[in-house]
Structure formats: C-alpha cells, structure tokens
Amino acid sequence: MEFHERSNENFSIENVGSNDKIVFDDDGRVKRTGTLITASAHIVTAVIGSGVLSLAWAIAQLGWITGILALVIFSIVTLFTSSLLTNFYRFPDPTIGTRNYTYMHAVKKYLGGKKYKLCGIAQYGNLIGTSIGYTITTALGVGAIKRANCFHKHGHEAECHASNELSMIIFGVLQILLSQIPNFQRLSGLSVIAATMSFTYAFIGVGLSVSRIAGGVHPKTSLTGVAIGVEVTGEQKVWCCFQALGNIAFAYSYSLVLIDIQDTLKSSPPENQVMKKATAVGVFVTTMFYMLSGILGYIAFGNNAPGNFLTGFYEPFWLVDLANVCIVFHLVGAYQVYSQAVFTMVEEQSRKRWPETDFIVKEYPIGIPFLGTFNLNLFRAVWRTFYVIVTTTLAIIFPFFNDILGLLGACGFWPLTVYFPIEMHIAQTQIQSYSRRWLGLKLLSGACLIVSLLAAAGSIGGIVTELKTNRPFMSVSDS
C-alpha cells in the first residue's frame, strides 16, 4: 500500500500490444481490475495484524460487559465513518468526479490546505509510531520463541528470560538493509507474505486458546475485569481501562489505507458502491475474528491475560515458535510498508526543495554479482538509516507493548477514522450548520475525541508508570 501523495502517472499507448483491448482508465493509468472480493480481502488483511494480540488483555481490563461492548461500538463507528470515506475517492461527485489516489489527496480537495497539513501530521505521525510499535512487537515475538524453547528444555519452573534490546537491534540492522531498496512497498509479494503471516499467527492464537480451555484451565474472569483492591489499585484500574480502549482503537485503524484500496477497483459499478459493500464485509469478518481472539484469549488466561496473548503459551513449543516466527516475518515486511511512505514523503520534498544538490538527487549505479545494478543515493542511504536508528532507539527506551499500541490507537483513531471523514461528508453534502444531522455528526465526533483523549491519557500514564520500574536499555521478556 502507498500512503504518500502520489503524482499522476502517464502511460504511453506505445507500451501496449496492438491486439490488446482497452487497458487504461479515465485518468490514464493502467486499467483497474479490483472487485468486491479483492477489496474485502484487502480490508481484512489491512485490519487484522498485531493489534489482535492485545485484545485478550484489553477485555481483561474492561471486563465482559464493557469489553465486548467496546469492540461492538468501535466496529460500528468504523463501519459508519469508513462508509462515508468511500464517497471521497472522487471529487466533487462521488461516482464520476476526478479520482483522489490517497487519503491526504481527498482531504486536500474537500477541506483545503490547512486541514490537509493537519491530516499529514496525524497520518505520518501514526506511521512513525507504528514503526516503533512493530519493533517492540517483533522483540516480544523473538523473546517468546527463546522462552518457549527454554521452558521445553528445562521445565516450566526454570528462570527463562530474553533480552528485548538485542532482538530490537538485530531487527533494526535488518531494516537498515531493507530500507535501502527504493520503492520496496511496490513489491506485491511483500503484502502477500505479510497477510499470510498475520492470519497464521492469529489463527494459531485462537487454536491455542481453545486447546487451553479444553484442557480444563479455567482462570478467573468477571463482568468488570481485573478486581480493584485485589489485582490492581483503583487508579491503576482507571488508567488500564483507558489504555484498553486505545488498544481496541488501534486494532480497528485502517482508514488511512481505505482510499488506496478503493483505487484498485474497476470503475463499473461505481467504486464507492462496491467499496461500501467491501467495508461492510471486511468490518464484519474482522469483528467476528476479534471477538474470537479477545473472548477466547480472556477465557484462557482470565484477568491475568498477558499484553500479547501469544506470549502466554509455551506448549506445544513448536506451534508457539511457528506463531511467533510468523509475527516476526509479518512485521519485517509491515515495517517496510509503513516506513516507505515516510521515506518517500521526505525524499520527494527534499528533491523539490534542493533539485540541484548532488547529495540528494544523484544516483550512483553499483553492480552486484548475480543481482544486477543497485542505484545508491547518498541522501536516501543516510536518511533511511537515521530513521531506523531513531525508531529502534525509541522502541528500546519505551518497550511497552500495550502502552504504545494504546497511544497509537488513541492518536490515530479520532482524526483519521472519525474527524476527517465526518468533516469531508459535511463539506461534500453541504449539511446546514446546527441542523439536526450536523449536530448528530458533531456529537459523534466529539464523543470519539473524548474517548481518544482518555485512551491517550491512559497510555501515557502507563508509560510513565512503566518507566518508574523499568530501566531503559534493560528490558527483558519474562512473561
């Protein structure tokens, strides 16, 4: 997926064989062939990811009633605002207008330059934060593999720990190498592998939960979640509940790629009509899957559900290892998909500002045996290496899985999933200010803003608390 502002690409008819039929769309790009089925699959792939790992913990904090209710409400809000967002792929008419290729492009057309810049801050801030979150999640996956093997070899009473820092550093070195490949996100195989891996570890997690429950393990669960005065203090309960809302919000955050997915659809029937159906299918499937993961994970572990529920399983060790290997492979590719958007934005802006600076624009061809020619750009090499070093360092300093996911969900859900779709809908349909419909939309946006602020506060509070007991650069996986 591409998230950055893309220029219109022109294709020459000379590139097409004389026997070919119509192969271009109305914008001069290669004819799109996406359907309801492919769009639904893309949505499910985009939504189901590392966020599913935290849902058992989130329900444990909120309890049966609030936890399930939160999953349902977030799914309904996401479905509603995503349906609105499908109408902004074209401008000004949702069926015959000019195409918008990205979320930011749509915001610029409908809301203007100031909100376009705010959208950019929210979108790229979320992408950078996701890079940090993926680094942390990968380290937990590697740590879980080491612990599972240790417990299998020495017994479950053994002291088995794994350094998170070393895993993050190795992951960072690998990402530095991968980041030097220009336009890495255009490699279609990357998304296929990442999607396969995410489904595999999620299904394994559900299967392990069922196995644990069937084996007679029935830890304590409750309607209100972790008990105040027994498992947590009243203050901790409040912060953890807010943080859990952020975790659920992160699990549903896919709005920033919706228009990219819609840009793959055939123009007939109208893209917005097909995308509405695909959104309904995608959100329904992911919600059912989230219910399975969260509910079964909570039943399996009870109020002591770990932040990443896969880290709570140790046997069969080979299956646990497989699940965590899938996490690592998924996030190696996902890190690049998200980071490439940031890379491209910075590099395009730099080329526009300093078009005659060799350090920024000049390419140096380097022959690599058996692989062909690699074009080295000094600015790209330095900037991308610096980016990976910074995100890896921040992950090492703040290696708090649920806190970081909660903060990402809080910061991304309201602006990208709720605020901009509602504001664009009001602008597109010219809803009269202070009318009943206008007030209803504003009330929904305001309520989601409050929830996001509470989730952000809970996650920041969790990070502050963790920093009091965990020293930076001394993090280990031990649970």
**Correct CATH for 30-468 of 3.30.1180.20, 1.20.1740.10, 2.40.50.140, 3.40.50.2300:** 1.20.1740.10
Residue 227's pLDDT band, with cuts at 50, 70 and 90, is: confident
Query: What CA–CA distance (Å, rounded) separates 186 from 329?
Result: 18
Q: What is the pLDDT of residues 114-123, one digit of tens each?
A: 899 999 888 8
CA 166 and chain centroid, separation? 24
Q: What is the pLDDT of residues 404-455, one digit of tens each?
A: 877 888 888 899 999 999 999 999 999 999 999 999 999 999 999 998 998 8
Among 67, 69, 66, 106, which residue's Cα sits nearest to residue 86?
106
SS3 breakdown of the chain: % helix, strand, coil, rounded to 5?
70, 5, 25
The residue-averaged pLDDT of 116-144 equals 85
Q: What is Dmax (Cα atoms) for the chain?
A: 77
Query: What CA–CA distance (Å, rounded) separates 271 from 253?
Result: 21
316 preceded by cis ω (within 30°)? yes
Q: What's 7's DSSP letter?
A: P
Whether 1 and 43 have beta carbons less than 8 Å apart is answered as: no
Least confident of 24-28, 218-222, 304-308, 355-359: 24-28
Q: What is the mean pLDDT of the chain?
A: 82
Non-local CB neighbours of 254 within 8 Å, separated by 6+ positions: 43, 46, 47, 78, 82
Work out whether the CA dihedral 99, 101, 103, 109 comes out positive or negative: negative
Residue 71, pLDDT score: 92
The residue-averaged pLDDT of 168-178 equals 90
Query: What CA–CA distance (Å, rounded) separates 416 from 432?
Result: 23
pLDDT of 184 higher than 60: no
Non-local CB neighbours of 5 within 8 Å, separated by 6+ positions: 102, 104, 105, 345, 348
In Å, what is the CA distance from 465 to each residue of 47, 56, 228, 461, 475? 29, 21, 17, 6, 15
Quote the Cα angle for 369-373-376, to 5°.
Answer: 120
The residue-averaged pLDDT of 39-52 equals 76
pLDDT of 8 higher than 80: no
Q: Which residue has better confidence, 341 or 17?
A: 341
Residue 189, pLDDT score: 58
Query: What CA–CA distance (Å, rounded) separates 100 from 193?
Result: 28
Among 197, 199, 309, 185, which residue's Cα sits nearest to residue 247?
309
Write the DSSP assignment of 349-383 as a string of letters: HHHHH-TT-HHHH--EEEEETTTEEEEE-HHHHHH
pTM of the model: 0.81
Q: What is the pLDDT of residues 59-83, one digit of tens each?
A: 999 999 999 999 999 999 999 999 9
Q: Computed over its alpha carbons, how large is the radius of gyration of the chain?
A: 23
First-to-last C-alpha distance (Å) of the chain:
34
Q: What is the pLDDT of residues 327-361, one digit of tens each?
A: 888 888 778 877 877 888 888 889 989 988 888 88
Residue 424, pLDDT score: 94
In Å, what is the CA distance from 255 to each residue of 109, 191, 414, 445? 17, 17, 11, 15
For 178, the token pair is 């991968």
Q: What are residue 91's DSSP bridge partners?
A: 98
At 435, phi and psi to the nearest 5?
-75, 170
Place of tokens 């070393």: 166
pLDDT of 371 higher than 70: no
For 266, the token pair is 């055939």
Residue 475, pLDDT score: 56
Place of tokens 């393990």: 217
Residue 156, pLDDT score: 66
Residue 84, pLDDT score: 93
Residue 7, pLDDT score: 42
Residue 21, pLDDT score: 56
pLDDT of 286 higher than 80: yes
Residue 19, pLDDT score: 45
pLDDT of 4 higher than 60: no
